[in-house]
Amino acid sequence: MPLSHIEKIGNYWALSGETIAKVSSTDPIRGLTKEEAATRLAKHGYNSITTSENTQPLLILLRQFTSPFILLLGVSTILSFFFKEWLDGFAILMVMILNTAIGFWMEYQAHRSMEALKKMSVVQARVIRDGEMMEIKSELLVPGDLLFAESGEMVTADARIINANQLQVDESTLTGESFPVDKGHNLLPEKIPLSGRSNMLYKGTFITKGNCFAIVVNTGMKTELGKLAGIVQQAEQVATPLEKKVRILSKKLIWITLGLIVAIFTGSIFYGTPVTTVLKIAIALSVAAIPEGLPVVTTLALSFGMLRMARHNVIVKKLSAVETLGGTNVICTDKTGTLTQNKIEVSLIQAGSLSARVRINVAGTSMHWMENNSIPGTAAYAHLCRISALCNTASYQLNGNEASASGDPLEIALLKMIHASGMKPVQYQQQFSKTDEIPFSSETRVMATLHKSKEQDPFYYIAAKGAVEDILKYCSSVLDENGKSHLGEKQKEEWKAIATKHAQSGFRMLAFAYRETSKQEPSFMHNLTLAGIIGFSDPPRAGVTEAIKECKNAGIRVIMITGDHPETAKNIALQLGIATPGEDVMLGSSMKPYNQLTASDRAQWLRTSVFARVSPEQKQHLVSVLQDEKMIVAMTGDGVNDAPALKKADIGIAMGLRGTQVAREAADMVLKDDAFTAIVSAIRQGRIIFENIRKFVIFLLSCNLSELLVIAICALFNLPFQLFPLQILFINFITDSMPALALGVSNSGGSIMQRKPYPPETLIIDRKRWTAIFVYSFVITATTLGAVATSHLILHYNDKWNNLVYNNILFYTLIFSQLFQVLNMTFKRDIPFHKTDVFRNPAIWYSIGGCIGLSLAAYWIMPVKRILGITAISQGDWCIILLYSILTVAIIRIIKKMKITI
């Protein structure tokens, strides 16, 4: 039966694994060859889902013509042509095209930024090709590939299971079933619903337990997930909270603008101004008054912030997360790998009554015993090494001075210990073949394996490791220097006390147990013999102590949540400054369910900084308690069961190195290096972005309002040097683009982390900043009109009233005053002007220089000069323009120093 025929039938669950392997020409042990995989990739295409996202350049360009700004310009153009104002009509059309081009460029760059971020987080898949297991990009999977998947990973293609071990899969994305389903490789009837196909894996689902080998049968759009994607239209993207705030702000501005336009319209009619002129001024003013580029500039600022974070090893998946980061006031963080180096080494061994600290020298295959160097010769130590090698899914190979390792760091540390003892893990594995396994889970905190001896028959060896208190539940004896002895409840408490004592010194403790039997048992976790306990050390990461101190200065609380022993957690928390010496650690066993919490319980939770032996469900409950207090919570996680807490938190943070695909999928951001310092860096960037957005919003509004005030005063007092509609559009084009973008990339200095987080309901523009906007606008208006008055009184008092010269002075003073107003967009009064973040931002000076250059080009280029109505300006008038433009900055700086406004 050819493979194409199977694809047509599609009843893979009704075919045996052998049949699937045969018809797909796949070796069930060695997999496909690399050459065959390449051929199939060319035939079937990439294993990716095609979405309907409108990111094509043409669609982005068409969207620019739906903005109110472009529509208003279009109306103005039509009216100009209707009244035969050809020059105005073509000029406004040119401005419309230029603004459309700028909007297109900014949005296109934002989409490209998002695509770049997506490429930074590529889903990997493990396959066997040419008999070797390798990791490839999931999009390179082809039908017939021999796929390996285990707990914590996302299924990356539809596949038929041929071998499974304790396998459970979360298929809620396809079936809606809340609980994971058990999976196997047995044959199933042809007519069975998708939810009952227990021998199939489907793309987009998650493995929650166990592992398996499976043969890929469908990829890309031919998968069940791909079929759904082809039928269901992609949901419309929800506006971020910041975008909603911008929309609210825009509505307020519309009403302010309409009020002023009505006043201007009424005053102009009163003075007998032609209706056509008044109508064009009103339309141009409505365009100039509304910061139409604000949503696009905001999106670009957020995207720029996301790429800046990516350079600091932080991948932010959602724009809304960038904004939320700035308001974070609680970080719930894991310990291992985030606060610590995750370079775990065996540092203490307790075998019977003998205890010793050790230092591993893997390269020299030696172990330095600081006490009790007789331990290596005991039977207990021999069993510790055997259990460490057999009850282990990691790999570690040492070739000369070069080492390669993969898997859990703790298990790698055990393999290093065996190497340092003069043995190799493979020697133990060659003696015993694994026949059964109980994978580690956060609920049981125990891993166990069943092995059959290759040298003795019948002989089986059970190896188990896990948390001390949990392993002891399965033990009935202990192995010491005198042989086996009974392990009663009293002795178990003594061993727990020993583990607690070591944990208080900062060691993470694991217990190791075994049992030898002559028969294979389906349930083998009973009557185990305790071989001993091993202590692991994991020193804090460099810079974490300083980062936590920075968090405290910023009003951000850090809470440690770990599955480790409470004393181990407390020791690290004290070292890092998370906990105080007299503070208690809260155990998961003492945490009530969320719906049973009393006010006293909640208060205790809120006071606690270290939580140990906590289950994933309890993590979620802690997040709920914190959020009930109106806190913005960031939560780190790396495991499958962390996904609910990551989704529940305001900011879910997954680990990029040791995190499972499930955790990464549920999170809002991913730490590429798993470092806590990266979280603090991301929060700093989030705060900077919010402040930058606030800066350019204040800048845009103060500039646009000053334009309205100038035009309103000229119209209401019937002054003869009124600005022309084209001049208003030109000013708007010059001052609303490059300076606002330059403000969006400011660094905001080092003091950004020395204030408390803003409450989530904080508006972009509050009452205080509205006051500042009006003050800034009145200053710009006063200096602009003052320049005209000064020119008239000093230079042209005895001359004939030259309206065009005064118009040009008004025009250029308004442009330069608005450009120099950028330098006032700093919220710091206590540092010199030349040391502010805005003054030191090169982009600010580039934007000012570029805009001044465009303004002067309009003076020298004759066609543009004619269109804008620009005449010759004397050197004296240029000096007045420059003086009053600089005076704008000086007056506002004085106001800031006097603390009249921000």
Spatial distance between the Cα atoms of 160 and 12, rounded to a whole number of angstroms: 7
* CB-CB contact of 62 with 70 (8 Å): no
CB 622, CB 636: distance < 8 Å: no
- DSSP designation for 751: G
Token pair of 652, please? Answer: 């879910």
Residues facing residue 214 across a β-bridge = 147, 161
| Dihedral angle computed from the Cα positions of residues 176, 179, 182 and 187, in that order, rounded to the nearest 10 degrees | -20
Same domain for 19 and 150?
yes
Identify the weakest region by mean pLDDT among 15-24, 281-290, 676-685, 739-748: 281-290
- 888 within a domain of the structure (yes/no): yes
442-482 per-position pLDDT tens digit: 677 899 999 999 888 889 999 999 999 999 999 999 998 88
Among residues 467, 466, 347, 370, the alpha carbon closest in space to that of 416 is found at: 347
* Closest C-alpha to 331, from 669, 764, 602: 669
Average pLDDT over residues 748-763: 75
Domain-ending residue, one of 231, 253, 286: 231
Give yes or no: 564 in active site. no
- Among 53-57, 324-328, 494-498, the range with the most confident prediction by mean pLDDT is 494-498
**What average pLDDT score do residues 559-580 get?**
85
Type of residue at 556: I
The reply to whether 275 and 379 lie within a common domain is no
CB 675 within 8 A of CB 541: yes
Interatomic CA distance for residues 784 and 787, integer angstroms = 5
Lowest-pLDDT range of 98-112, 446-460, 471-485, 532-546: 98-112
Place of tokens 């220097």: 481
Residue 67 lies in a domain: no
List all residues 6 or more positions away from 683 whose beta carbon is below 8 Å from its beta carbon: 325, 326, 328, 551, 554, 556, 634, 753
Residue 542 has pLDDT above 90, yes or no: no
Q: Secondary structure of 177-202 in the HEC alphabet?
A: CCCCEECCCCCCCCCCCHHHCCCEEC
Tell me which residue range forms the domain holding 552. Answer: 314-340+540-674
Radius of gyration of the chain (CA): 35
CATH number at residue 27: 2.70.150.10
Please give the single-letter amino acid code of residue 699. F
pLDDT at 173: 62
Residues 294, 333: one domain?
Answer: no
Same domain, 389 and 255: no
Question: What's the total number of domains in the chain?
Answer: 4
Residue 463 domain-assigned (yes or no): yes
Q: Within 13 Å and on the Cβ side, how many CA atoms surround 592?
A: 13
Q: Which amino acid is at 895?
A: I
Write down the pLDDT at residue 801. 63
Q: Is the pLDDT of residue 739 over 70?
A: yes
Beta strands in 497-644 (DSSP E): 508-517, 528-537, 557-562, 586-587, 610-612, 633-637
Going by the DSSP 8-state scheme, the letter that residue 825 receives in this structure is -
| Inter-residue contact 97 to 318 (CB < 8 Å) | no
Contact 878, 811 (CB under 8 A): no
Angstrom CA distances, 702 to 255, 256, 712, 822, stand at: 16, 13, 15, 10
* 253 shares its domain with 212: no
Which pair of structure tokens corresponds to residue 686? 């989030």
**Lowest-confidence segment of 234-238, 305-309, 422-426 by average pLDDT:** 234-238
Is there a domain that residue 119 lies in?
Answer: no
Token couple for 123: 């889903």
Is residue 40 domain-shared with residue 160, that is, in the same domain? yes
Domain end marker among 535, 554, 582: 535
Distance of alpha carbon 727 from alpha carbon 804, whole angstroms: 12
Q: Are residues 548 and 627 in the same domain?
A: yes
Q: How many CA atoms lie within 13 A of 354 on its CB side?
A: 21
Bigger pLDDT: 744 vs 780 = 780
Name the average pLDDT for the chain: 81
Burial of 894 (0-12, 13-18, 19+ CB in 10 A): exposed
DSSP 822: G
Omega of the bond leading into 759 within 30 degrees of 0 (cis): no
Catalytic residue chosen out of the listed positions 145, 158, 170, 334: 334
Please tell me whether residues 325 and 297 are part of one structural domain. Answer: no
Cβ-contact 517, 549 below 8 angstroms: no
The mean pLDDT of 263-286, rounded to a whole number, is 66
Question: Residue 95: which of 118, 79, 113, 72 has the closest Cα?
Answer: 72
371-390 pLDDT, tens digit each:
888 899 899 999 999 999 99
Q: What is the pTM of this model?
A: 0.66
pLDDT tens digits for range 162-192:
998 878 887 766 665 556 788 988 889 888 8
**Domain final residue pick, 621, 646, 674:** 674
Residues 301 and 322 reside in one and the same domain: no
Residues 544/529, Cβ–Cβ less than 8 Å: no
- Sorting pLDDT into bands at 50, 70 and 90, what band is 2? very low
End-to-end CA distance of the chain: 78
Residue 135 lies in a domain: yes
Strand partners, 635: 332, 652
Query: How far is 640 from 800, CA to CA, in rounded Å?
Result: 82
Do 505 and 612 sit in the same domain of this protein? Answer: no
Rounded Cα distance between 645 and 637, Å, is 8
What CATH code is carried by the domain that includes residue 688? 1.20.1110.10
